[in-house]
């Protein structure tokens, strides 16, 4: 970029006379390389010390039987034993994988469907739309708080509010959160209930769809459903993609609600043993930090793999309009 | 579509509008029910919690709040102070360090800038659970876990801009600040530091406010890291303290537990009321998660 005087701005002439423009600009340019690293230094220190070094340490630990009580210098290298145990000798590990996959596969699509449905209902301009938007967003904001998880668990107790509601129709409820067949579903409902964040992103996407497209489709005789399928869905596909990736990664990391429901055990009968909870129990309850590190690395690779799969399949269904509009 | 009379033509969209509103009101009722129920239960007496299935108490009793507040030896006030301190210092750390990094990555030209930017984007996807074990070991070997000031493991990462999300948010924001302002300041003899101080810092207020709000709410609600790093009762933050109620599974604790849950959500709720517009628009532009 050329270093010229910005339009509409004349060089200042003060008591000291005209500034030595060329020298001043040159000096600023001269210091930019160093200044870049000065400003970047906190982040760089953080990257090295808080992110990169722990990652290397964690990779090394995953090949050891580190238990935090023995000093790091005396840790025993065990090769692939942790990974072997994880994949072949620890049924509760596979169970945790299944619980997490089930949770993500069911809760994420339903949450996105709810988000899109409500966004479509709200996609009109009228008084009060802002209030609705805010109220739907509120549960997402309270998100992973312990307080919300506590409320949820109590609501789906044997004598909780949900069963009282069922009783109005003469249906006898279950102790949902204590029932191994239903505890995970209770957590799914909690996740779906927090559809506000993707909903707001959908709303922003819907605002970008040109009205002319709907008008053209209507002129061609397309009904509501046809217009949704032929106009809304393709135009919205980049936003759907964005939400899908974000919510899936988010879903894999669910911890707080599962911890609160089971008091940190993953119960009843391991039915809510989410991957991150299993990792926490291995590392901080059983103090098997080498084993937990191996688990963490598989988790990282799994998330990277899933993201990669999303991005490689995305080009078959995500539609990007060429130029973008001029607004 | 067949021809309809003018009157029917006008009524149809209005009916549809009414139906739309009705559906929305029903969904809002479902969405808000758990929150209202929590509020109602927190002011019910023990007997009413068991017997009265209604949303609101017949007999308003604030006793749960008194009982909850004075629970667990050190009292809930202590937990709230701890949480407030951790959250506020996190806000300061995030806002400062992420702004510095964003200025470097978004506005300055230096060697390897593109490489660092790519690395920053990469850390955006890194789940915190992956780093928790080695970070715990590192902080512990430095004597910072359960040390004189047990909050350092929670705070240090935020003063080193490790929350890539906010760095990214601010880089995006800074792209919108006209380059001409930098150039003009440079011509007036300003160094990169001067440009930061006199151009970027004052203009970044909106991004700083967004960062502050979200880092406060996230830290206030965070549980995982606080659970791992805090081990002494008097150091507990609110989320960790709330789990003490679950440990003491006795039925009589339900009222105080709900009262403290309500109080713990209060700061977030007040933020929500104050910044509702901004919060909702903030996730529009950045995809921030609640």
CATH of the domain at B191: 1.10.3720.10
Query: Which two tokens mark B66?
Result: 């008194």
Please state, in angstroms and rounded to a whole number, the distance separating the CA atoms of residues A178 and A262: 9
Using a CB-CB cut-off of 8 Å, the residues of chain B touching A148 are 34, 261, 265
B215 and B165 in a common domain: yes
C-beta atoms of B239 and A145 within 8 A: yes
Please state, in angstroms and rounded to a whole number, the distance separating the CA atoms of residues B51 and B61: 15
Residues 5..24 of B with a Cβ closer than 8 Å to A: which?
17, 20, 23-24
Using a CB-CB cut-off of 8 Å, the residues of chain B touching A193 are 31, 34
B170 and B127 in a common domain: yes
B113 and B42 in a common domain: no
Average pLDDT, rounded, for chain A: 85
Asked whether residue B278 is domain-assigned, the answer is: yes
Which of A215, A275, A221 is CA-nearest to residue A92?
A275
- pLDDT tens digits, one per residue of B187-229: 888 888 999 999 999 999 989 998 999 999 999 999 999 999 9
How big, in percent rounded to 5, are the helix, strand and coil portions of chain B? Answer: 75, 0, 25
Please state, in angstroms and rounded to a whole number, the distance separating the CA atoms of residues A51 and B167: 15
Asked whether residue B7 is domain-assigned, the answer is: no
C-beta atoms of B131 and A58 within 8 A: yes
Rg, Å, chain B Cα set: 25
Please state, in angstroms and rounded to a whole number, the distance separating the CA atoms of residues B24 and A131: 11
Query: In this complex, which of A32, A42, A164 lies closest to B101 when CB atoms are compared?
Result: A42
Contacts 24+ apart (CB under 8 A), A264-267: A264/B243, A266/A96, A267/A183
Is B289 touching A (CB cutoff 8 A)? yes
Between B158 and B249, residue with greater pLDDT: B158
User: Residue B282, SS3?
Assistant: helix
Between A130 and B138, residue with greater pLDDT: B138
Q: Which residue of A has its CA nearest to B98?
A: A43
Q: How far is A134 from chain B (nearest CA, A)?
A: 6
The pLDDT value given to residue B4: 40
Asked whether residue B2 is domain-assigned, the answer is: no
| Among A3, A151, A193, A275, the residue to mutate for chain B (most B Cβ within 10 A) | A151
C-beta atoms of B167 and A43 within 8 A: yes
Asked whether residue B100 is domain-assigned, the answer is: yes
Q: Give all domains of chain A, ordered by start, each with its CATH number.
A: 83-315 (1.10.3720.10)
C-beta atoms of A55 and B131 within 8 A: yes
B178 and B96 in a common domain: yes
Q: Which residue of B has its CA nearest to A44?
A: B160
Q: How far is A223 from chain B (nearest CA, A)?
A: 10
B154 and B53 in a common domain: no
Place of tokens 């001043």: A24
B263 and B131 in a common domain: yes
Q: How far is CA B185 from CA A39, B126, B190, B197, in A?
A: 18, 38, 5, 11
Place of tokens 């506020």: B88
Q: Point out which residues pair with A77 in neighbouring strands.
A: A64
Is B243 touching A (CB cutoff 8 A)? yes
B55 and B148 in a common domain: no
Asked whether residue B277 is domain-assigned, the answer is: yes
Contacts of B12 (CB under 8 A, 6+ apart): B4
B166 and B109 in a common domain: yes
Is A26 touching B (CB cutoff 8 A)? no
Percent of chain B with pLDDT over 70: 89
Asked whether residue B254 is domain-assigned, the answer is: yes
H, E, C per residue of chain A: CCCCCCCCCCCCEECCEECCHHHHHHHHHHHHHHHHHHHHHHHHHHHHHHHHHHHHHHHHHCCECCCCCCCHHHCCECCCHHHHHHHHHCHHHHHHHHHHHHHHHHHHHHHHHHHHHHHHHHCCCCCCHHHHHHHHHHHHHHCCCHHHHHHHHHHCCCCCHHHHHHHHCCCCCCCHHHCCCCHHHHHHHHHHHCCHHHHHHHHHHHHCCCHHHHHHHHHCCCCHHHHHHHHHHHHHHHHHHHHHHHHHHHHHCCCHHHHHHHCCCCCCCCCCCCHHHHHHHHHHHCCCHHHHHHHHHHHHHHHHHHHHHHHHHHHHHCCCCCCCCCC
Query: In this complex, which of A46, A260, A280 lies closest to B157 when CB atoms are compared?
Result: A46
Query: In this complex, which of B23, B37, B280 lies closest to A155 when CB atoms are compared?
Result: B37
pLDDT of A324 strictly over 50: no
Q: Which residue of B has its CA nearest to A36?
A: B104
The strand pair at A13-14 and A17-18 is best described as: antiparallel
Using a CB-CB cut-off of 8 Å, the residues of chain B touching A264 are 243
Average pLDDT in the B159-178 region?
A: 92
| Among B187, B194, B241, B268, the residue to mutate for chain A (most A Cβ within 10 A) | B187
- pLDDT tens digits, one per residue of B230-253: 988 899 999 999 988 876 655 557
Asked whether residue B231 is domain-assigned, the answer is: yes
Helices (H) and strands (E) in chain B, counts: 15, 0
Average pLDDT, rounded, for chain B: 85
B141 and B51 in a common domain: no
B83 and B177 in a common domain: yes
Asked whether residue B248 is domain-assigned, the answer is: yes
Question: Model's pTM, two decimal places?
Answer: 0.86
- pLDDT tens digits, one per residue of B11-37: 566 777 888 889 999 999 999 999 998
Q: Which residue of B has its CA nearest to A122?
A: B24
Query: In this complex, which of B129, B196, B245 lies closest to A253 when CB atoms are compared?
Result: B129
ipTM associated with this complex: 0.87
Q: Which domain holds residue B33?
A: 15-60
- φ/ψ bin of A269: left (φ > 0), alpha (ψ from -120 to 50), beta (otherwise): left
The pLDDT value given to residue B13: 67
Given a contact cutoff of 8 angstroms between Cβ atoms, the answer to whether B203 and B99 are in contact is: no
Residues 248..277 of B with a Cβ closer than 8 Å to A: which?
249, 254, 257-258, 260-262, 264-265, 268-269, 272, 276-277
Using a CB-CB cut-off of 8 Å, the residues of chain B touching A6 are 180-181, 183-184, 187
End-to-end alpha-carbon separation of chain B, Å? 44
Query: In this complex, which of B20, B31, B137 lies closest to A57 when CB atoms are compared?
Result: B137
Residues 64..93 of B with a Cβ closer than 8 Å to A: which?
none
The pLDDT value given to residue A326: 38
pLDDT of A15 strictly over 80: no
Given a contact cutoff of 8 angstroms between Cβ atoms, the answer to whether A129 and A207 are in contact is: no
pLDDT of B169 strictly over 60: yes
Is B202 touching A (CB cutoff 8 A)? no
Domain termination site, one of B6, B39, B60: B60
Domains contained in chain B, number: 2
B131 and B40 in a common domain: no
pLDDT of B64 strictly over 70: yes
B234 and B173 in a common domain: yes
CB atoms within 10 A of CB A154: 22
């Amino acid at each position: 970029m050329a270093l010229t005087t910005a339009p509409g701005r004349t060089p200042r002439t003060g008591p000291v006379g005209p500034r030595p423009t060329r020298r001043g600009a040159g000096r600023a340019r001269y210091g930019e390389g160093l200044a870049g690293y000065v400003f970047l230094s906190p982040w760089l220190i953080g990257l090295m010390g808080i992110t990169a070094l722990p990652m290397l340490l964690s990779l090394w630990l995953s090949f050891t039987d580190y238990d935090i009580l023995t000093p790091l210098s005396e840790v025993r290298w065990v090769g692939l034993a942790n990974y072997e145990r994880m994949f072949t000798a620890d049924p509760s590990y596979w169970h945790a994988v299944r619980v997490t996959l089930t949770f993500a596969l069911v809760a994420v699509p339903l949450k996105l469907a709810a988000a899109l449905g409500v966004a479509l209902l709200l996609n009109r301009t009228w008084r009060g739309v802002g209030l609705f938007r805010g109220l739907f967003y509120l549960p997402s904001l309270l998100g992973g708080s312990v307080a919300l998880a506590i409320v949820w668990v109590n609501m789906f107790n044997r004598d909780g509010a949900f069963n009282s509601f069922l009783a109005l129709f003469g249906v006898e409820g279950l102790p949902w959160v204590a029932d191994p067949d239903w505890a995970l579903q209770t957590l799914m409902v909690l996740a779906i209930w927090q559809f506000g964040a993707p909903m707001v992103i959908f709303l922003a996407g819907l605002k970008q769809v040109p009205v002319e497209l709907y008008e053209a489709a209507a002129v061609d005789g397309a009904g509501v459903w046809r217009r949704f399928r032929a106009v809304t869905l393709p135009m919205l596909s980049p936003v759907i993609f964005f939400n899908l990736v974000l919510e899936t990664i988010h879903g894999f990391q669910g911890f707080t609600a599962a911890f609160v429901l089971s008091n940190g055990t993953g119960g009843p009968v391991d039915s809510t043993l989410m991957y991150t909870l299993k990792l926490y129990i291995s590392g901080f309850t059983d103090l098997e930090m080498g084993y937990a590190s191996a688990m963490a690395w598989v988790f990282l690779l799994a998330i990277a793999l899933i993201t990669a799969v999303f991005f490689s399949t995305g080009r078959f269904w995500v539609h990007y309009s060429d130029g973008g509009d001029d607004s | 579509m067949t021809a309809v009379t003018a009157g029917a033509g006008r009524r149809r969209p209005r009916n549809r509008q009414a139906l739309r509103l009705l559906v929305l009101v029903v969904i809002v009722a479902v969405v808000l029910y758990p929150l209202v129920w929590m509020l109602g239960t927190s002011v019910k007496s023990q007997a009413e919690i068991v017997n009265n299935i209604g949303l609101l108490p017949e007999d308003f009793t604030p006793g749960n709040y008194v009982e909850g507040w004075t629970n667990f030896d050190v009292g809930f006030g202590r937990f709230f102070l701890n949480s407030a301190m951790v959250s506020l210092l996190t806000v300061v750390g995030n806002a400062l360090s992420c702004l510095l990094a964003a200025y470097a990555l978004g506005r300055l030209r230096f060697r390897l800038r593109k490489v660092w930017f790519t690395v920053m984007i990469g850390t955006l996807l890194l789940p915190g659970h992956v780093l928790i074990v080695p970070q715990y070991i590192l902080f512990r070997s430095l004597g910072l876990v359960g040390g004189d000031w047990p909050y350092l493991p929670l705070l240090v990462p935020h003063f080193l801009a490790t929350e890539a999300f906010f760095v990214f948010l601010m880089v995006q924001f800074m792209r919108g600040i006209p380059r001409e302002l930098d150039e003009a300041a440079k011509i007036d003899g300003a160094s990169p530091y001067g440009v930061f101080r006199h151009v970027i810092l004052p203009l970044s207020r909106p991004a700083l406010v967004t960062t502050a709000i979200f880092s406060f709410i996230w830290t206030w609600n965070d549980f995982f890291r606080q659970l791992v790093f805090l081990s002494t009762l008097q150091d507990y933050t609110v989320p960790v303290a709330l789990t003490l109620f679950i440990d003491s599974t006795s039925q009589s604790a339900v009222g105080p537990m709900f009262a403290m849950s309500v109080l713990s959500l209060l700061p977030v709720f007040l933020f929500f009321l104050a910044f509702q517009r901004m919060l909702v628009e903030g996730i529009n532009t950045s995809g921030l998660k609640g």
